[in-house]
């Protein structure tokens, strides 16, 4: 039984030694305990602006269990994960971020949980060692994302987990232009379990996700994985119709009681602005979905590998 660990790397130069060292120690102990017979650690450099790729090559040169992938440009975290998954050879695959907020020491526990009959075991975050504001914004984003994508993620949103090879094969078979690994894993199904973990504070630096990048990520995936915005727009349309009927009755009563001096002026202005805004918003929303179809029809690759080591 072989186990593969896949980590996307961005601004991770200072964490790579610790990341590989802790993973290697854990995986070698799993071999000593008879849980697995071999392992590989796949690091995917997502065009990191620091010297992450040079550091990765250095590590790969001294340890053939570590394999490196260098993407041609910055594609994004979930595209880097997809690139790594396309190269795995393990029977079980672990996906974890490079910032060591995910503890490598939890890998044996995830594996043992999977042996209870699960094809997927997500690391369920029960505690975060972060500042209050970071915890609040992370949870708010998770539930916002879950609501608009109709995905039961919530606070369980996390790349960290262990997945049987058939689950990863199913994820890779999805031809989606927009990628979001945890949502894709939940969509393909299979028997899923959870293992409680504590998420540590980032070991070095700050996250590469700015507010603008988080907004773009959420927006792309909401459009890609759900038609809920269209449903909400339709519901909003029905609400406006109901509101218009009530407004019409109100002005009818006002007219019959002689309370309106300029007949029709108020209702015309309100109606024009309201209808114009609704129509423009709906056309824009439909245009966004058509744009996503256009992106998919072009069938461009979601990532491009420039160089790979030890494969």
Start-to-end CA span in the chain (Å): 18
Longest dimension (CA), the chain: 91
**Predicted pLDDT at 204:** 60
**Please, are residues 44 and 9 in contact by the beta-carbon 8 Å criterion?**
yes
- The residue ranking higher by pLDDT, 300 or 62, is 62
Q: What is the mean pLDDT of the chain?
A: 78
Q: Rounded distance, CA 240 to CA 236, Å?
A: 6
**Mean pLDDT along residues 121-132:** 70
pLDDT at 206: 57
The pLDDT assigned to 44 comes to: 93
Confidence of residue 218 (pLDDT cuts 50, 70, 90): low
Q: Is 245 a residue whose pLDDT tops 60?
A: yes
Which residues neighbour 242 within 8 Å (Cβ) at sequence distance 6 or greater? Answer: none
Residue 122, pLDDT score: 86
Supply the pLDDT for residue 6: 93
What is the C-alpha to C-alpha distance for residues 3 and 19, in angstroms, rounded to an integer? 16
Query: What φ, ψ does residue 41 adopt, rounded to 5°?
Result: -120, 115
- 242 half-sphere exposure, CB direction, 13 A CA radius: 6
What is the rounded CA–CA span in Å between residue 130 and residue 89? 35
pLDDT digits (tens, 9 = 90+) for 31-77: 998 888 899 999 999 888 888 899 999 999 999 999 999 999 888 88
65/311 Cα distance (integer angstroms): 10
Q: Please list, in sequence order, all residues whose beta carbon lies within 8 angstroms of the beta carbon of residue 222, skipping any fewer than 6 positions away.
A: 145, 148, 149, 228, 229
Read off the pLDDT of residues 154-165 as tens digits, 9 standing for 90 and up: 445 578 889 999
Q: Give me the phi and psi of 304, to 5 degrees please.
A: -135, 125
**Cβ atoms within 10 A of the Cβ of 239, count?**
10
Whole-model pTM: value is 0.70
Residue 42 has a pLDDT of 93
- Distance (Å, rounded) from C-alpha 224 to C-alpha 291? 11
């Amino acid at each position: 039984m072989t186990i593969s660990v896949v980590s996307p790397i961005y601004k991770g130069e200072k964490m790579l030694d610790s990341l590989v060292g802790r993973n290697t120690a854990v995986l070698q102990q799993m071999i000593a305990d008879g849980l697995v017979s071999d392992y590989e650690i796949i690091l995917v450099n997502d065009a990191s602006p620091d010297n992450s790729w040079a550091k990765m090559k250095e590590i790969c040169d001294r340890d053939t269990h570590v394999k490196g992938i260098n993407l041609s440009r910055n594609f994004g975290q979930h595209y880097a994960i997809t690139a790594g998954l396309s190269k795995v050879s393990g029977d079980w695959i672990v996906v974890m971020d490079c910032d060591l907020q995910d503890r490598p020491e939890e890998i044996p526990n995830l594996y043992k949980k999977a042996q209870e009959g699960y094809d997927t075991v997500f690391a369920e975050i029960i505690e975060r060692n972060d500042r209050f504001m970071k915890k609040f914004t992370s949870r708010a984003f998770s539930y916002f994302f879950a609501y608009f994508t109709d995905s039961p993620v919530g606070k369980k949103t996390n790349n960290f987990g262990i997945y049987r090879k058939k689950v990863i094969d199913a994820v890779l078979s999805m031809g989606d232009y927009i990628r979001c690994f945890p949502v894709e894993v939940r969509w393909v199904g299979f028997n899923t379990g959870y293992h409680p973990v504590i998420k540590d504070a980032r070991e070095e630096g700050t996250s590469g996700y700015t507010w603008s990048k988080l907004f773009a990520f959420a927006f792309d995936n909401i459009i890609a994985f759900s038609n809920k915005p269209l449903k909400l727009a339709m519901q909003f349309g029905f609400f406006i119709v109901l509101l218009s009927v009530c407004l019409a009755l109100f002005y009818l009563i006002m007219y019959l009681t002689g309370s309106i001096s300029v007949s029709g002026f108020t209702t015309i202005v309100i109606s024009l602005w309201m209808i114009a805004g609704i129509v423009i918003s709906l056309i824009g929303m439909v245009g966004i979905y058509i744009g996503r179809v256009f992106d998919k029809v072009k069938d461009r690759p979601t990532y491009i590998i420039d160089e790979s080591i030890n494969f």
